[in-house]
Each structure stands twice: as structure tokens, then as C-alpha cells.
Amino acid sequence: MRKSSMNEKVTFRVFRGEPDEDGDPFGELVDYTVDLDEGMVVLDVIHRIQAEHAPDLSCRWNCKAGKCGSCSAEVNGKPRLMCMTRMDDILDETPKDQPILVKPMQAFPLTKDLVTDTSWAYETDKKISPINGPEVPDWTFYQQEADRLQEFRSCIECMLCVNTCHVMREHKMFEEFAGPRFFVRLASLEMHPLDTENRIPEIKEDFGIGYCNITRCCTEVCPAGIQITDNAIIPLKERVVTDYYDPILNPIGTMKELASGVFSVVTEKFGRKSDPGNLTMAKDALANEKDRMAEASKIERERTERARQRNRSK
């Protein structure tokens, strides 16, 4: 590993900008060179840039200990917490003489520079039914049940998983899809041994769990090490399948679902086994997905063109 040493300098290429009149990010990448001290993390360098070059550079942080989830950004294109990202590791991965790229999270609307607007998270949280425990507090809570929930409770709400998920990042399905962070929250409630609420209908319909195709990108970037896909999303998908698509437990519901053409990616295996109709639904879903991707790249091209025109007229 490359170690930072005294008197070494480092150049950060930082996004500076604000939203334009359409709400799209508009700005430029600015290079700043500062001294690097041993043991620094990315957030330290940002603070040094603020102190020495750009006091108006906006970034959000609170704890500097990986606990508050405020300092999320994209460093060298990878979503990370700036306070937990060691400069030694960043130097290690950055080609020599190349600047280190620091940008805000790309999935969320830009507020300014490295700060994004994540208020969507608060709105989504409000839509989730809270825990509904027993009337009489006469219960036994086993350690293994506590351990299972503890993983979910370690979420620091940094939103790095949401920023990484293609359903949000490329397709902007913030209304239709709860995203990995909130599947973690839903799993913590659904798997709570004392909870009596049934959120499976909402998880299927309102929170759109079928849009998740288990790419595991969210799990890879989670700084809390939560196995989002394997321990939260897949068990929730299994519960949806059991409630809606199990022909033995729910024969009428299953027929209704198939007849109405509702398709969930998680039924792929089930569909192959039992019903050729699901193949048609899968093809339709794929075609819809292609349409959505074409629409997303059209919007992206138009946005780039608008930015170019603005640059030309500057």
C-alpha cells in the first residue's frame, strides 16, 4: 500500500456547481492542490481545501466517525463515506499524476457542490407502517432474533446503496421503488418477532420490490456491511412469492395475479417451472425495461446538450 508522507501534495478534482433552472446539476470540475499529512482521510483533504482555497465549497458532515451517514460522495467514481476513506487507499488506486475525482451522489438532486437533497428518504420513511407490538408486554425475545435485527439496525442512512441502485440512479423510480435502504428498514420490521403488522401488500405494490433484480450493487457499497440483498431483499421477495404466487397456499390469488398479467422478477424461477404465461410477461417486462432505458438515455443526451449550449454561450 502506498503511504502518504510529510510534504507530499495531492490534487483533488472537485465538482463545484448548483442546479440550473431545470433542476439539473450545472457546474464544473475544479482542481485544488493541498499538502497531504499522514493518516488523512478524504474529508480531511476537503476541509483543507475549504480552509486554504475555497471557503464556499459545500459538503455535509457531522461525526467524522462513519456513524451519521452525512458525508456520502463519489470518490474516484465509487460511492463512499468521505470520513472513512483513507487517503492511503485512494492514492493506491489512483494512477500517478492523476487528480482524485470527488463528486456528489449522482442519484439525488443536487443542492450545491458535494451536497445533495435526500429528503426523498424522509418521505419514504413516513410511508412505512411503524412497528405494531403486542398489547401486553409479556414476551420472550431470543438472542438470535435480536442478532438478526441488529444487522438491519446498524444502517446509518448514508443512502450510498440508493445512489448505487440502477433502479433509482438510471431509471429515477423514486416514486415506485422504496430502494435498498428502505427494504432494510422493512425487513427489520417484518422480521421483528413481536410485530403483528402485515406490510407484504405494500412491499409488493407500493414499494415495488419486483423492480429489484438482485444485482447486489447496493450490498457492495454499504459502509455498515449490511448484507442488504441476501438478508433483507431476498427474504422479503420470498414472502411476496409465498403470499401471492404460491398455488397451494393461495390458489385464487395466484390465478388472479397471472390473469392480470402482474409480473415480478422474483417469479422468474417459479414461472419457468409452472407457467408458460409468465414467459410472455417476462418478455413484456424486458421490453418495458428497454423502453425505460432508451427514455433515460434520451433525457441524458438532452441534458448534456443543454449544458453544452450553456457553456458555449458563457
203 contacts 237 by C-beta, under 8 angstroms: no
- Report in angstroms how near the CB of residue 72 gets to ligand FES at its nearest: 8
222 touches ligand SF4 (CB under 6 A): yes
- Between residues 68 and 189, which has the closer beta carbon with respect to ligand FES? 68
* Single residue of 26, 61, 120, 270 touching ligand FES by CB under 6 A: 61
| Residues listed for the chain | 314
Residue 70: name the closest of 189, 62, 276, 287 by CA.
Answer: 62
288 touches ligand SF4 (CB under 6 A): no
Angle at 9 between CA 5 and CA 102, to 5 degrees: 110
64 touches ligand FES (CB under 6 A): yes
DSSP at 86: B
- Report in angstroms how near the CB of residue 262 gets to ligand SF4 at its nearest: 19
66 touches ligand FES (CB under 6 A): yes
Binding piece for ligand SF4, criterion CB under 6 A, among 104-112, 137-145, 157-165, 297-305: 157-165
Q: Which does 70 bind (CB under 5 to 8 A by kind): ligand SF4, ligand FES, none?
A: ligand FES
CA distance 296 to 293: 5
Packing angle between helix 251-259 and helix 234-245, nearest 10 degrees? 100
- Please report the DSSP string for 119-134 in residue order: HHHHHHHHHSPPP---
41 touches ligand FES (CB under 6 A): no
Residue 73: name the closest of 59, 52, 94, 90 by CA.
Answer: 59
CA distance 246 to 154: 33
81 touches ligand FES (CB under 6 A): yes
- Size of site (CB under 6 A) for ligand FES: 12
- Site map 179..198 versus ligand SF4, x via CB under 6 A: -xx--x--------------
- Report in angstroms how near the CB of residue 177 gets to ligand FES at its nearest: 25
83 touches ligand SF4 (CB under 6 A): no
* Single residue of 46, 107, 203, 226 touching ligand SF4 by CB under 6 A: 226
86 touches ligand FES (CB under 6 A): no
- Report in angstroms how near the CB of residue 118 gets to ligand SF4 at its nearest: 10
* Single residue of 36, 73, 212, 281 touching ligand SF4 by CB under 6 A: 212
How many Cα atoms are found within 13 Å in the side-chain-facing hemisphere of 254? 17
What are the φ and ψ backbone dihedral angles of 107, each rounded to 5 degrees?
A: -80, -20
229 touches ligand SF4 (CB under 6 A): yes
**DSSP 3-state of 68:** coil
Burial class for 139, CB neighbours closer than 10 Å (0-12, 13-18, 19+): exposed
Question: Residues 301, 302, 305, 307: what is their CA dihedral angle, to the nearest 10 degrees?
Answer: -110
- Report in angstroms how near the CB of residue 69 gets to ligand FES at its nearest: 5
Report the run of H or E that residue 112 belongs to, with start and end. Answer: strand 110-112
Report 58-77 residues binding ligand SF4 (CB under 6 A). 69
83 touches ligand FES (CB under 6 A): yes
Contact residues for ligand SF4 (CB under 6 A)?
A: 69, 155-161, 164-165, 167, 180-181, 184, 212-218, 222-224, 226, 228-229, 233
Contact residues for ligand FES (CB under 6 A)?
A: 61-64, 66-71, 81, 83
